[in-house]
């Protein structure tokens, strides 16, 4: 596997994924919605248009699909659903038709429903894992649930296809750790129960996507991708007592342990996050 297509290559995660692939000697086809002068070969298209997607993927051996509208608040619901759901379907179908058997898709912890739902559910247990029920009532969370279902359907349609849906959480660059937003989050946990105070360093996220297309999954697998700790000064048990006192614990939770369980990614992909905000703030 040599040439990898990256959709959403101009985005925050996309830029880091392109850098990660080039560093590991892959050829990269950067797919953007409009020209952005990204390193490597670049092509601009609309992922909601199947013919454009199919034609662009000629010669590729793997795909990392990141292109999406990243939330429900700045665009109409219909556009969020169309872009994120149809776009993923088109990528997966085109991959199958072109015998591209390694695909990674950016999913999200927003599938749980805690982030953007109007009537937010509470966790059924902590830490959450890939078996936790999904209850979003917003267009973005739903679009990612539909995208995961599309991946499940396409590995049935195209036997031999390997698809990893990575439920990435809040993504931080190293410079973000000293930003006003991040520092407020650490001090004020009431700001961020929307994703259980989780985060992932962008370099770790990019590495997770690379590893996921290098692994033969023989089907579709879903993975949470989060740092091992929370982004809060409060210990995790204190966060649970304050915000989710009635939620049962599926395991003992120690220190600042993340409330999103990424152990499946470690077990199957061999991925474990390396970077923590503590290392940059000397905490």
CATH architecture of structural domain 3-174+199-229+259-281: 3-Layer(aba) Sandwich (3.40)
Report pTM.
Answer: 0.96
User: Domain segments of the chain: what residues?
Assistant: 3-174+199-229+259-281
Q: Which of 26, 89, 140, 199 is catalytic?
A: 140
C-alpha pair distances (Å), 180 with each of 108, 177, 184, 273, 279: 24, 9, 6, 24, 17
What tokens were used for 115? Answer: 């982030």
222: confidence class by pLDDT, cuts 50, 70, 90: very high
Residue 192 has pLDDT above 70, yes or no: no
Quick one: pLDDT at residue 55? Answer: 98
Digit-coded pLDDT (tens) for 43-91: 999 999 999 999 999 999 999 999 999 999 889 999 999 999 999 999 9
Integer Rg of the chain from CA = 18
Give yes or no for residue 283 having a pLDDT over 80.
no
CA dist., res. 6 & res. 91, Å (int) = 11
Cβ–Cβ under 8 Å, residues 189 and 182: no
Q: Examine the residue annotation and report whether 170 is marked as an active-site residue of this protein.
A: no
Helix (H, G, I), strand (E, B) or coil at 49: coil
Phi, psi of 75 (to 5 degrees): -135, 160
Per DSSP, helices labelled H in 8-69 are: 12-23, 50-56
Q: Could you tell me the CA-to-CA distances from 108 to 101, 140, 161, 169, 230 in Å, in that order?
A: 22, 9, 21, 6, 17
Could you tell me the pLDDT band of residue 38, with boundaries at 50, 70 and 90?
confident
């Amino acid at each position: 596997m040599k040439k990898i297509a990256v959709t959403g290559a101009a985005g925050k995660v996309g830029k880091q994924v392109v850098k990660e692939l080039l560093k590991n000697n892959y050829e990269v086809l950067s797919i953007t919605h409009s020209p952005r002068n990204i390193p490597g070969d670049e092509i601009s298209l609309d992922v909601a248009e199947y013919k454009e997607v199919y034609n662009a993927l000629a010669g590729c051996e793997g795909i990392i699909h990141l292109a999406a509208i990243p939330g429900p608040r700045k665009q109409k619901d219909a556009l969020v659903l169309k872009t994120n759901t149809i776009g993923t379907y088109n990528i997966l179908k085109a991959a199958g038709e072109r015998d591209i058997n390694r695909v990674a898709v950016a999913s999200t912890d927003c599938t749980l429903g805690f982030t953007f739902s109007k009537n937010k559910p509470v966790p059924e247990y902590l830490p959450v894992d890939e078996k936790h029920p999904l209850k979003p009532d917003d267009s973005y969370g739903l679009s990612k649930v539909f995208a995961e279902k599309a991946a499940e359907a396409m590995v049935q349609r195209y036997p031999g296809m390997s698809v990893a849906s990575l439920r990435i959480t809040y993504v931080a660059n190293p410079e973000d750790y000293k930003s006003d937003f991040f520092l407020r989050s650490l001090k004020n946990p009431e700001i961020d129960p929307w994703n259980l105070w989780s985060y992932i360093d962008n370099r770790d996220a990019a590495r997770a996507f690379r590893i996921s297309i290098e692994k033969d999954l023989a089907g579709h697998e879903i993975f949470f991708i989060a740092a091992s700790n929370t982004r809060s000064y409060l210990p995790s048990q204190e966060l649970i007592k304050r915000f989710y006192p009635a939620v049962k614990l599926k395991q003992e939770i120690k220190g600042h342990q993340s409330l999103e369980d990424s152990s499946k990614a470690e077990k199957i992909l061999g991925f474990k996050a390396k970077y923590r905000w503590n290392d940059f703030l000397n905490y």
